A and B are shown apart, each in its own frame.
Chain A
Amino acid sequence: MPKDHAITIGKRAVVCQDIELKGEIQIGPGGPIIIGQNNIVEENVTIINKLPTALTIGDDNVFEVGCYVEGSKIGSKNIIEAKARILSGTSLGNNCVVGAVCSTKKDEIILDNTVIYGDHHNRRIQTASANQISSLHTRHLDYLREVLPKFNHIRVVGAPESQEIVPISRKAIKQTASH
């Protein structure tokens, strides 16, 4: 684990070995990239904030393998699928799904419950009830949290009761701007 002074890793976070953290990063509250609770960040994910303002990421998001996030704000309970791209200035609502290899446009505001899918980056609003989505999403997160540690090197920091984790894997977070 890097012991750089600028990096603060908050409580109840799990950060993988071999991670590459650049710049001033705070995992936990405060800072240019603020990641909320209960997020899952998989391998080769890039989260960049090039803006002077903070990039706030909400709770319960899943960033799947190799996705690229450069938004201005990410809500909660979103799924960013493998190799998806969120371009600069995009603000993502809640309960959104950005499908595999799909991307958003620049400086776009994506409403809640939007699904981007397919090779033409089609969009639709999911209509299932909020309860249903959240229960399905919670189960999905639980499953991932159970499975991911089996295939990644994870070192638990802090008290053992801190079960909600942010498993951040190799080269997960980069932060280029340091304003």
Chain B
Amino acid sequence: MNSLQTETRHIRPYVHYHCGCPDVNNPTTSIESEKEEETFNIYSPGIHFSTFPISKLYFCDDCHQIRCPRCVQEEIVCYYCPNCLFEVPTASVKSERNRCARNCFQCPICQNTLSVVASSEPQPTPLPISPTVPTVSATGAPYYLSCGVCRWDSQEIGMTFEKATGLALQLQKTEDERPDVKEFDHLKDQFEKHLRHNTPSTTLPSSLLSIPGMSMNSFSSRYGNTGLAHAQQKSDDVEKYEAAVDKVEPESGLVDDLVHLTDVNQITTLTQRMNQLSDQPYKVERLQPQRIHLRTKRVKRCRSCRHILIKPEQKAQATRFKIKLVALKNIPKITIASLPKLILNQRTQIVLKFSNPLYEEISVDLTIQEETNECGKVTILAPHFNITPYNEVLEYEEDLISSRRAAKADIGIYEKRGNSTSIIFEITPLAEVEEFKFPLLVKYTNKNTENNENDGVTTEEKSSEETNSSKAVASDEISADESNEITKSLSFWTVIGLGNVIKAPAGTSGTTVKGPRTEPSGSKGSSSRGSSSGNRSGTSNSKS
């Protein structure tokens, strides 16, 4: 099942956007970015780390650049519990060990959220007609935790609670008694004393300090070692450590139990053990419910200009964003609109749909590196086209728009409707590969008038002609026209993956040309999927 999933993920079509990450990469190479762009290699092993689906990308307004998760800086806004949505103040996050200190626990068996249940004993003879009156049991405390998924409950391990609130606090007492916890606290005390003594006064950015565990002491001890600190450390050695607890006894008879194991369910799974890091027990009975991990909300900044790209609301309950500069709202979105099966040596037409999220008309230039790469031949029938601006009102009158546009459709343009234009690509696979992919350089130009808030659609329509003529503007360059208009352009690489190529079914000749808008050849040849991997390795060998 698992291998099948990975296989399908491998051949699923996608459109990924490349982010050059100018701030992450060496500045000397970014000077020759022009050269680098020309040799954009989609087969380099690093391609998976620099290309992303558009949903993961941000867009910096000031730099006028795409920003990927690698080239943003994150700062923590608040900590909260995902279950009870309680905001934990930064000061107490560390002391609460990054977990919810209230009522939220996860099941030790299946890691789902546990719920607090009042224990009740039924009446001696439960009548099916009348609902039983819940009565507090005489033995033990009245509350326990229960899992709705695997039906585990904390009474199994003898864990009950006096009150239904503040469960973590009630547990704290018993937890503090455990020898391993005691020993750890003792160790911590010993070294904290020492570290505080030796800390040179370094100032750290507050954003780093907000990370729990990244206190002044630990940071300086790890990275900020000055010569002075070294000298001090020599003079003041760590005093001899004496264990608080003699020995933490191991689980008795564990080896014997493991040897005589007959049922898998008798020992804990790896996930269960990893969720209880402090002792990682093998016996199911020793599993304890764990407090739920806290989550964070983060601000994301552009690394080069420090402007905020993402800023969530402070409150944990609010899901809105104060600032949200995502790529989806700023650069043309490319989707694969039609993708028939790719058959070896057969020319196939695919349709890519370009949508314009901006309120201005944009003109798009498409370039491919080379017509023929190791996968096959790619031809763009319409390398230059315009996309009409996004308009909320027109979203509802889409049919009207498309009928008007259809009259003056150009060659290679499949369809124009609303704020999108669909373009036909011709693909001729020349090798039987697992994944047919090709790089595509997208360059778009839009016109910003000075007062761009009051800008209507009509002026944009009017100026579209001029936009067409000013295509030759170099990328990432802002030039002012004679009128109050600013032309902005941006170019970026995309990788378009189209899934696997299959062999032509026997009988059909390789030179068959498929006309546009014929039925997808899905029914024809679905035979040779298995052999494709072997063939691919062959081609890559011949390449290298």
A118 near B150 with CB under 8 A, answer: yes
A window 31-54: CB within 8 A of B: 37-38
Q: Is B151 an interface residue (CB 8 A)?
A: yes
Listed stretches B81-89, B127-135, B434-442; interface member: B127-135
Shortest Cβ distance from A59 into B: residue: B128
A169 to B296, CA, bound (A): 45
| Distance (whole angstroms) from the CB of A139 to the closest CB of chain B | 6
B129 near A97 with CB under 8 A, answer: no
**Of the residues A59, A135, A142, contact of B121 by C-beta under 8 Å:** A135
| Distance (whole angstroms) from the CB of B540 to the closest CB of chain A | 35
Q: Is A163 an interface residue (CB 8 A)?
A: yes
Q: Is B149 an interface residue (CB 8 A)?
A: yes
Q: Which A residues touch B152, using CB under 8 A? A: 124, 126
Shortest Cβ distance from B121 into A: residue: A131
| Distance (whole angstroms) from the CB of A110 to the closest CB of chain B | 14
Q: Which B residues touch A134, using CB under 8 A? A: 122, 126
A138 to B133, CA, bound (A): 11
B110 near A135 with CB under 8 A, answer: no
Q: Which A residues touch B129, using CB under 8 A? A: 163-164
Q: Which B residues touch A128, using CB under 8 A? A: 151, 153, 155-156
Q: Is B265 an interface residue (CB 8 A)?
A: yes
B128 near A118 with CB under 8 A, answer: no
B window 153-175: CB within 8 A of A: 153, 155-156
| Distance (whole angstroms) from the CB of B75 to the closest CB of chain A | 36
A163 to B109, CA, bound (A): 38
> How many residues does chain A have at the interface if contact means C-beta atoms less than 8 Å apart?
25
A132 near B150 with CB under 8 A, answer: no
A124 near B134 with CB under 8 A, answer: no
**Which of B128, B151, B265 has the most chain A CB atoms closer than 10 A to its own CB?**
B151
B128 near A38 with CB under 8 A, answer: yes
Q: Is A60 an interface residue (CB 8 A)?
A: yes
Q: Which B residues touch A118, using CB under 8 A? A: 110, 149-150
A138 near B150 with CB under 8 A, answer: no
A98 to B131, CA, bound (A): 24
A123 near B110 with CB under 8 A, answer: no
Q: Is B115 an interface residue (CB 8 A)?
A: no
A116 to B240, CA, bound (A): 53
Task: Give how many A-B residue pairs fall within 8 Å (CB-CB).
Answer: 60
B119 near A124 with CB under 8 A, answer: no
**Which of A38, A60, A127 has the most chain B CB atoms closer than 10 A to its own CB?**
A127
A115 near B121 with CB under 8 A, answer: no
**Of the residues A127, A131, A142, contact of B156 by C-beta under 8 Å:** A127
**Of the residues A37, A138, A163, A164, contact of B126 by C-beta under 8 Å:** A138
Q: Is B120 an interface residue (CB 8 A)?
A: yes
Shortest Cβ distance from B127 into A: residue: A138
**Of the residues B110, B121, B134, contact of A117 by C-beta under 8 Å:** B110
A148 to B110, CA, bound (A): 29
Q: Is A99 an interface residue (CB 8 A)?
A: yes
**Of the residues A37, A124, A132, A136, contact of B128 by C-beta under 8 Å:** A37
Interface string of A70-114 (1 = CB under 8 A from B): 000000000000000000000000000101000000000000000
A174 to B129, CA, bound (A): 28
A119 to B110, CA, bound (A): 10
A37 to B128, CA, bound (A): 10
| Distance (whole angstroms) from the CB of A64 to the closest CB of chain B | 13
Instruction: Give me the 9 closest cross-chain CB pairs, A-B, nearest first.
Output: A135-B122, A117-B150, A126-B151, A142-B131, A115-B151, A127-B156, A117-B149, A135-B132, A131-B122
- B residues bordering A, Cβ < 8 Å? 109-110, 119-122, 126, 128-129, 131-132, 134, 149-153, 155-156, 265
- A residues bordering B, Cβ < 8 Å? 37-38, 59-60, 97, 99, 115, 117-118, 122-124, 126-128, 131-132, 134-136, 138-139, 142, 163-164
Known contacts A122-B110, A134-B122, A135-B126, then 10 further A-B pairs from the complex at CB < 8 Å, ordered by chain A residue: A117-B110, A118-B149, A124-B109, A124-B151, A126-B152, A127-B153, A131-B121, A134-B126, A138-B122, A138-B128
A–B Cβ pairs within 8 angstroms, 12 of them:
A59-B128, A115-B150, A117-B110, A117-B150, A124-B152, A127-B156, A128-B151, A128-B155, A135-B126, A135-B134, A138-B126, A142-B131
